[in-house]
Structure 1
Amino acid sequence: MTERLLLLDTASLYFRAYFGSPEILAPDGTNVNAVRGLLGYIAQLAEQYRPSHLVCCWDDDWRPQWRVDLLPTYKAHRVVAEVAGAPDVEEVPDPLEAQVPVIREVLAAFGIAVVGAPGYEADDVIGTLATNAGMPVDIVTGDRDLFQLVHDAQGVRVLYVGRGVGRHERVDEAWVVAKYGVRADQYADFATLRGDASDGLPGVKGVGDKTAAVLLQKYGDLAGVLAAVDDPASDLGPGPRAKIREAAGYLAVAPRVVAVARDIDLPRTGLELPRSPADPDTLAGLVERWSLSSPVERLTGVLASLSAG
């Protein structure tokens, strides 16, 4: 089998499964639609892309303090309540929160690698594992920030599930240029200038997608844009010049917040996709307790077919 690494933005997928699927109850009345949906997504993607390696990348810290220290608005709107001295708690519907430990148990019983890192988000785990992976990499996410990792020469692309897993788009360098007018290696600067309300990134006031793209097309990167602002002889218009100057404080810190980490100390072994469940007895118990027969049978069958093929 040709080696291929499939990196899953796990929370992005189980949130999508929870909100996009009808309620499905286990015998004790617990909703298990996110568990079932995530297993279905893994089976679908593994069957379609036939990876040799697969990692469920995890948010050990969904809102790292070092990013908040740089930009206090970062994901602030998602915090349930701020308690002095306590870690931030993400707003997650109770019926979904109850399913997360079940997801972890089922993945462990299958033997599917789950990788997180203290003080980092799943995006950073993805960025690190995708860098110098030594094989083609597909990143499955609904997060546009990860477009910054797309790199044709290194075989890194994003399977973007913004319209659904079944209708995902294969994002390569040409796709990014066609969609946004910037190169993938410019995307982080593009996102910094434009901002992103969903992450609490204010961006430069008055600079949207079109203006951000034009600035980067003309000046190359954020450093080039800032140099043009400070150069009286540059052809940067007075409007954009003033807006960027007003956002100087934000632009001094935002690039470090937006940039996905690529150098965390993470394991590079034990990431192979299992060809059969690692702990069949435990998995059988989970199937019975949580009514998971159909998705577990499907994923088990897909794993067996990969082994045969």
Structure 2
Amino acid sequence: MPGLMLLDTPSLYYRAFYGVPESVTSPDGMPVNAIRGLIDMIATLVRQHSPGELAACMDADWRPAFRVAAIPTYKAHRVAPGGGEETPDTLAPQVPVIERVLDAAGIARVDVPGYEADDVMGTLATRALGGVDIVTGDRDMFQLVDDDRPIRVLYTAKGVKNLQLVDEAAVTARYGVPGRSYADFATLRGDPSDGLPGVPGVGDKTAAALITRFGSLDALLRAVDEGGDLTAGQRAKLSAARDYLRVAPGVVRVARDAPVPDVDLALPVTPRDPGALDALAERYGLGGPLGRLSAALSRVSPG
């Protein structure tokens, strides 16, 4: 499906970091496994899916203040002792190099102060006039799936070479709710990996059943207040979690109106800065993966 491809870049370079051995190093011995792995992932995605536009979405703020203000536990377990995100020692130095490679290659790198990559993807997907593929290992992006647009997720759980295509039918088959209801479902269920407690005693099946029956979290909460069709146990659990349910949707839902600047998302026909790209290839031993990326782009880009 030609159109816009959005890369959840942090998700992908973490996958590359853990999927490629740290013994893959630059000429001076610096691990470059995440860099090389990400470049090869992008080359594979471009070659196999031929997108018309491409955006490498980044975290300008991995733990935005507006989400922490709503739920202080949000990603709190990932905070390093000195502050900032806890990142493997050998990954942290690779991230600036990844940014330099993307910039020199001419692949749009998009971030927004105060927002996560999720919010950049949500905003760009909402703005897009054509089809959108979101490449991620984050289930939160399932809330953006929309067959009418169409917007779909290329889920990386089994790797970039074996992507799982997630459309509305796939979300419903897996979770029992349509994609547009996934955020409400996830709010009820919670997500320990993000520090979101959910409603105690409400798991996947109950969350899906409640959202399916009432149509939305807002409608469910009205039923709690107005004596709707709920068991005494369900009403008690939801009432006890009312403070959480009041603020959690603003944390779980990705922003669709973040102040993302207008950026040229066209695939580069030639590198933006060939000299810088050559220097990076030599300094970090990236000649092979950058050659594969160049070959993939040249087959897709006009001319």
Question: TM-score scaled to structure 2, two decimals?
Answer: 0.97
Whether the aligned pair in 1 keeps the contact of 2:2 and 2:51 (CA below 8 Å) is yes
Q: Does 1:9 align with 2:8?
A: yes
- Equivalent AA in structure 2 for residue 38 of structure 1: L
5 Å matches for 1:253-292?
Answer: 253-292=247-286
State the partner residue of 2:117: 122
Residue matched to 2:37? 37
CA-to-aligned-CA distance 1:260-309 (integer Å, 9 cap, x gap): 10112223341111122121111111111101111001000111111368
Deviation above 2 Å: which 4+ runs of structure 1?
none
Correspondences of 1:186-265 after superposition (within 5 Å): 186-232=181-227, 234-265=228-259
Q: For 2:91, what is the secondary structure of its paired residue?
A: helix
Within 5 A, what are the aligned runs for 1:128-147? 128-147=123-142
> Does the CA-based 8 Å contact 1:148-1:188 persist in structure 2?
yes
1:22 alignment partner in structure 2: 21
* Residue 299 of structure 1 pairs with residue 298 of structure 2: no
**Contact 1:129–1:268 (8 Å) recurs in 2:** no
- Matched residue, 2:79: 79
The answer for unaligned runs of 5 or more in structure 1 is: 83-87
Instruction: Summarize the alignment of residues 24-173 of structure 1 with structure 2, pairs less than 5 Å apart.
Output: 24-81=24-81, 88-173=83-168
CA contact (8 A) 1:196 1:202 kept: yes
1 CA distance for matches of 2:299 and 2:159? Answer: 25
Distance in 2, Cα, partners of 1:172 & 1:179: 11
The 3-state SS of whatever aligns with 2:81 is coil
SS of structure 2 residue aligned to 1:131: helix
Answer whether contact 2:108 2:263 (CA < 8 A) is retained: no
- The amino acid across from 1:17 in the alignment is A
Q: For residue 85 of structure 1, what is the aligned residue in structure 2? A: none
Secondary structure in structure 2 of the residue aligned to 1:245: helix
Distance 1:235 1:103 in 2: 53
C-alpha RMSD of matched pairs (Å)? 1.2
Change (3 A) 1:3 1:168: closer
In structure 1, how many angstroms separate the alpha carbons of the residues matched to 2:146 and 2:295? 32
- Contact 2:125-2:132 at 8 Å conserved across structures: yes
Measure, in 2, the Cα distance between the counterparts of 1:208 and 1:261: 25
Structure 2: gaps of 5 or more residues: none
Distance 1:141 1:242 in 2: 36
Q: Which amino acid aligns with 1:246?
A: A
Partner SS for 2:237: helix
TM-score, normalised with respect to structure 1: 0.95
2: CA distance between counterparts of 1:174 and 1:12?
24
Quote the Cα distance in structure 2 between the aligned partners of 1:280 and 1:198.
40
Q: CA deviation at 1:157?
A: 0.5
- Show the counterpart of 1:178: 173
- Say if 2:267 and 2:301, in contact at 8 Å, map to a contact too: no
Partners of 2:142 and 2:264 in 1: CA distance: 26
**Greater Cα shift, 296-305 or 160-169:** 160-169
Kept in 2: contact 1:138–1:159 (CA 8 A) = yes
8 Å Cα contact 2:153-2:165 kept in structure 1: yes
